[in-house]
Amino acid sequence: MAGRILVVDDEPSVRFFERLALEDRGHEVEEAASGAEALTLAQAPGSDYAAIVLDFRMPGMTGLEVARALRDGAVPTPIVLYTAYADPAVAAQAAELGLELIDKADVERMVVHVDQLVAA
């Protein structure tokens, strides 16, 4: 089952490879280059993302700040925190928000997890 996925990362090349991996599995991918842009898209009326793949380290707002703002705004969309900067403190904060934390070195794990979220 495919879904509409929002990919959020400040690096265009990372967004490109995430898009390719997710589209290869049949997902429709929309991109955001910043936390602020992600909030605008995800909170828009009629927004119907099946999942959000969110970078942790971005200028302006971290992925955790974006996730908190989405949860505070009652956006229930499942979120995957996809980062190369995972440490125990970030993992603990992600878990508190109900996020799955996946290392950017494991693109297959991210894609499989998104597939599971969409199928749920």
Give percent of the chain with pLDDT exceeding 90.
68
- Mean pLDDT across 56-83: 92
Amino acid at 46: G
In this model, does residue 120 exceed pLDDT 90?
A: no
- CATH number for the domain spanning 86: value is 3.40.50.2300
| Total domains in the fold of the chain | 1
pTM score, whole prediction: 0.93
In this model, does residue 86 exceed pLDDT 80?
A: no
- The parent domain of residue 82 ranges over 4-119
Written as six digits, the tokens of 64 are 């955790």
Nearest partner of 32 among 52, 57, 56, judged by Cα: 52
